[in-house]
Structure 1
Amino acid sequence: MADASTTKEILPLAGIAVAAFVFNTSEFMPIALLVDIAADFGTAESQAGMLITAYAWAVCLLSLPLMVAASRFGFRRLMLFLVALFGACQVLSAVAPGYGALMAARIGVACAHAVFWSIASPAAVRVVRPERRSLALSVIVAGSSVAMICGLPLGRIVGLALGWRMTFLCIAVVSFAVLAYLFFVFPRLAAGERFSARDLPALLKSPVLAAVYAVTALIATAYYTGYSYIEPFLQQVGGFSDGFITAALSLFGVAGIAGSVLFARLYEGRRRPAFLLTVLAGIAVSSACILPASASPAGVAALCMLWGACGTAFNVSLQSEILRFSSEGEAAVAMSVFSGIFNLGIGAGSAVGGAVSASVSVSWVGAAGALVGIAGVAACAVFLLPAMRRAKPHG
C-alpha cells in the first residue's frame, strides 16, 4: 500500500514538474533567441525585448482576475485546459507572419501562464502528504531549472540551426505530449473555497504576504534587469561565441537545481531568515559583478552558478512563505498575486535593461539591477523577516 500511495503522489507531481519545465522554457525562449527574432522582423533588439516585457506585464495584470474567475473549477480541469491553450498558442507563435502576430500569440501563452503558476504549487502540495510539502515545491522548481539546463539551450540550438520558429513548434509538440500524460495521471482535486476580489484586501492584511510581495517586486526587477539581456551582453561586451553563451545559459539551470536542493535541505525552522537574506544578497552581488566577470570565461561561469542558484532559491523560498501563511482556500489566489507581482518585476527588469541598453550601453544593465537588488535586500531585512518572526502559520 505504501508503494501504491507513493506512486499516486509521484506520477501527478512529475506531470506538474514537466509542465513547469515546458512553461518556463517558453517564457524565457525569447531571451535565448532575442538576436535572431530581432533580425527576422527587422527590429532593434530592445524592441524585440518587448516580447519579454509584454508577456510579463500580461501575466502581472491577468493573474489575479483570471484566477478569481477560474477558482470555481477543479485543478484537474484547469490544468488540462491550460496546457491545451498553451500548446495552441505555441503553434500560433511558430507561424506568426509578423511582430504583432507573434506578440498576440505570446499574450495568449501569458494567459495560460498566469493561471498555471497560480495553481502549480498549491496543486503540488495537495497531491503529496503534508510532510513532503517542501519536497513537492522543490520538485516543481527543479522542473523550471531543468528548463534552463536543457530547454533554453536546446531551443537555442534548434533556433540557430533551423530558425526560431521551429523552436516554438517543438515546444508545442512537447506540450501536447504533456497534455496526454496529465490526462491519464492527474487526479481530481476539488477547487478551494470560492474567492472573490472583495476578499483580496483581507488577504493583503497579512504582514508577511504584503512584505513577500514587496520583496518579490524588487528582487525580480533586479534579477531580470541583467538576465533579460544576458545574450547580447555576452556577445557584445564579453565577445563570447554562440556555443559559450548556450553553455552559460545551461549553467543557470544547473545552479537552479542546486538552489532547489539547498532549499529542500535547509529552509526549515530558524534557518529560514538567514537562508532568505543570503540568497537575496547573492542576487544583488551577482548583478553587480556581471561586468567584471565578463573579462573571462571562468568568471562568467562562476557568476552564472551563483546567480542561478540564488534566483531559484529566492523564488521557491517566497512561495513557501506564501503557502505557510495563507489558508488552503486562499492559497491559489495568494499565489496568483505572487505570480502577477513576480512578472511585474520581470517586465520592469526587462524594460529597465532595455532602457539602459538603448540609452547608455548594455554593459551597465548589471549595475542598474544591483541598485534595485540592494533595495530588495533592505526591504527583506526591515519588513519581511520581522513579520515572519511575529506571525503564526496557518494550520
Structure 2
Amino acid sequence: MVHSDQPVQKPAWGAVFAMSFGVFGLITAEFLPVSLLTPIADSLQVTEGQAGQTVTVTALMALFTSLVISLATRRIDRRWVLLGFSLILVASNLLVAFADNLHVILAGRLLLGIAIGGFWTLSTATAMRLVPADQVPKALSIIFSGVSLATIIATPLGSFLGDIIGWRNIFLLTALLGGLAFIWQFFSLPAMPADREKRHGSMLSVLMRPGMRWGMVAIIMLFTGHFAFFTYLRPFLETVAQVNVHALSLILLAFGVANFVGTSLAGYLLMRNLHLTLGGTTLLMGIMAILLAVFGHNSLLDGLCIALWGMAFGAIPVGWSTWITRTVPDEAETGGGLLVATIQLAITVGAAAGGWVFDANGARGVFFASSVLILLASMTIFTRLRQRA
C-alpha cells in the first residue's frame, strides 16, 4: 500500500500506462465535437455555433473542477477517485450518444469536464506516488503521451468514421475506451489512501510560495500565446501561405506527430535539466512564431516551423507538471489544481484575445502577438525561476 509520505521503492509502470490510456480516452472525447460539429448540428437541428458550446462547457467545468476537486476528495483513496473519473467518461459519452436534444449533450459534456479537470489536477501528485522521485518526469511523459496520440488520432479519425457509422456510434466507441481504461486502471492502480492527518494548503497559500507566482505568470503568457497561435493556425495557412486542403492536412499531421515526439523526449530532457528544457522549448516556440509571421508566405518553411513548434510544445505540459513536483512537492495536488486552472484560463484568454487581434490585424498580427507573449514567458523562466527549477 502506497502512502503519500513514504518514498516509492518499486515503480508501478503498469499503472502509469493505464493512466496514459485513460488520458487518451479523455482527450479523444474532448476533441471529438471539433470533427463532428456539422453532423451533430444537423442531427439536432441546431446551428453549428450552438453545437460548438459542447466544447465551451467542457472547458469551463474543467476549470471549476480543478479548483475544488482536491479539497472535495481529500478523504478518499486516490485510486477510487481516478476510477471514478473513468466511469464519468463512460457516462458522459453514453449521454451524448443517446441524446435527443442539445441540452442532454451539454449535460454529458459537463460531466466530461469534471473528469478532465479532476484527472489533470491529480495526475502529477499521482505520478509522484507511483514511481520513485527521479522517475517522475519519465512517468509524466508517458501519461501526457496520451494527449499527443489523441491529438493525432481523434480529429481525423472521428471525421472519417463519423461519415461511415454516424456521430452517435463514435461516442459509443469512446465510451468503450473509457470502459477499457476503467478495467485496466482497476487492476493496475495501487491503493493510494488519503492522508487524513494532513491539512492541504489553499490555492492562495500555495501561490504565495517562492517561485510560484512567477511560474504562473510565465504559464499564462506561454499558454495564451500558444492557443492564440493554435486557434488561428488554419486561417493563417489558408490566407497567408495559401495552402490547399491536402497540404493543410499534412502540416497539421506533422504538428501532431512532432508533438508526440516532443512529449516522448520530454522525460529524458527534464531529468537532465528542468530549467533549461522549460526555457529552451519556450524560446524555440517564440522564434518559430516570429519566423511564421515574417516568412509565412513560404509553405515549406511554414511546415517546418509548425512541426518544430509542435515538438517544442510537446515538452511543455510535462515540464510544468514536473516543475510543480519540484516547487511544491508537499502540495502537489493543490499545485496541480492551480496549474490546470491557470492553463484553462490562458486557453480562454488566448482564443478570445486572438480573435480580437485577428479581426484587427489578421493572422500575421496574431502570430506577432503570440511571439511577444511567448518570448516574455521564456525571459521570465530564465531570469525568475532559476533558483526553483
Band the TM-score falls in, shorter-chain normalisation: 0.7 to 0.9
Report matched runs for 1:50-69 at 5 Å.
50-69=53-72
Moved more, 107-116 or 299-308: 299-308
Q: Deviation of residue 236 (structure 1)?
A: 7.0
Is the contact between residue 80 and residue 183 of structure 1 (CA under 8 Å) also seen in structure 2? yes
| 2:189 is equivalent to residue 189 of structure 1 | no
Q: Deviations over 1:24-43 (max 9, x none)?
A: 22223333445555666676
Cα distance, 1:14–1:30 mapped onto 2, change above 3 Å: same
Matched, 1:72 2:75: yes
Given the alignment, which residue of 1, 13, 20 partners 1:10?
Answer: 13
Q: Matched residues, percent identical?
A: 24
1: CA distance between counterparts of 2:302 and 2:31? 20
Structure-2 change in CA distance of 1:372 and 1:290 (3 Å): closer
Deviations 1:17-65 (A, max 9, x none): 1111121222233334455556666766666554434322322222111
Preserved CA contact (<8 Å) 1:35 1:232: no
CA distance in 2, matches of 1:194, 1:79: 21
Q: Is the 8 A contact 1:41 1:99 kept in 2?
A: yes
1:307 aligns with 2:305: no
8 Å CA contact 2:148, 2:260 repeated in 1: yes
Q: Structure 1 249/47 Cα, relative in aligned 2: closer, same or farther at 3 Å?
A: farther
Q: How does 1:1-395 map to 2 (within 5 A)?
A: 9-34=12-37, 37=40, 48-192=51-195, 199-230=202-233, 238=242, 240-241=244-245, 245-268=248-271, 271-288=273-290, 295=297, 298-328=300-330, 330-355=331-356, 359=359, 364=363, 367-368=365-366, 370-382=368-380, 384-391=381-388
Between stretches 296-305 and 66-75, larger displacement belongs to 296-305
Partners of 1:230 and 1:376 in 2: how far apart?
A: 16
Task: Map Cα deviations across residues 315-368 of structure 1 (whole Å, 9 max, x no partner).
Answer: 21111111111133x1111101111111112222233345556x468x52x632
Instruction: Give me the whole-angstrom Cα distance separating, in 2, the residues matched to 1:291 and 1:390.
Output: 34
Aligned mates of 2:238, 2:99 — CA distance in 1: 27
Q: Aligned in 2, Cα 1:230/1:31: closer, same or farther, shift over 3 Å?
A: farther
**Partners of 2:215 and 2:385 within 8 A in 1:** no
User: What is the alpha-carbon distance in structure 2 between the residues aligned to residue 184 and residue 368 of structure 1?
Assistant: 47
CA distance in 2, matches of 1:292, 1:46: 33
* Residue type of the alignment partner of 1:240: N
| Offset at residue 304 of structure 1 (A) | 3.3
Q: TM-score, normalised by structure 2?
A: 0.84
Corresponding letter in the other structure for 1:214: V
Tell me, in whole angstroms, the C-alpha distance in 1 between the residues paired with 2:34 and 2:383. 36
More deviation, 39-48/51-60: 39-48
Contact conserved, 2:293 with 2:367, CA < 8 A, in 1? no
Q: CA deviation at 1:233?
A: 5.7
Which ranges in structure 1 are unaligned for 5 or more consecutive residues?
Answer: none
Q: Offset at 1:14?
A: 0.8
C-alpha contact (below 8 Å) 2:280/2:378 kept by paired residues:
no
The residue identity in structure 2 corresponding to 1:340 is: A
Q: Output the CA distance in 2 between the equivalents of 1:40 and 1:387.
A: 52
What does the per-residue CA deviation read over 1:109-167, in whole Å, with 9 as the maximum and x for residues that have no partner? 00111110111222123211223112111111222111122333322322344444333
Change (3 A) 1:54 1:281: farther
What is the Cα deviation at residue 15 of structure 1? 0.1
Structure 1 residues 380 and 295: alpha-carbon distance in aligned structure 2, compared to 1, 3 A threshold: closer
Q: 1:62 to 1:21 in 2, by over 3 A?
A: same
Kept in 1, the 8 Å contact 2:219–2:377? The answer is no
How far the C-alpha of 1:70 sits from its partner, in A, is 1.3
| Alpha-carbon distance in structure 2 between the residues aligned to 1:353 and 1:44 | 23
**C-alpha distance in 2 between matches for 1:246 and 1:175:** 28
Question: How far off its partner does 1:299 sit?
Answer: 4.0
Relative to structure 1, the CA distance from residue 389 to residue 6 in structure 2 (aligned partners, 3 Å threshold; closer, same or farther) is closer
Q: Which moved more, 1:45-54 or 1:60-69?
A: 45-54
- Tell me the number of residue pairs that the alignment of Structure 1 and Structure 2 aligns: 381
Alignment partners' CA distance in 2, 1:317 and 1:140:
12
The whole-number CA distance in structure 1 between the counterparts of 2:289 and 2:196 is 41
CA shift in 2, pair 1:196/1:297, >3 Å: farther
Matched to 2:31, the amino acid is: F
Instruction: Give the superposed CA RMSD.
Output: 3.2
Alpha-carbon spacing, 1:194–1:234, altered in 2? closer, same or farther (3 Å)? farther
State the TM-score, normalizing by the size of structure 1: 0.83
Distance in 2 (CA, whole Å) between partners of 1:335 and 1:175 is: 23
Please state how far the C-alpha of 1:68 moved relative to its aligned partner. Answer: 1.4
Task: Please state how far the C-alpha of 1:11 moved relative to its aligned partner.
Answer: 1.0
Counterpart code for 1:12: A
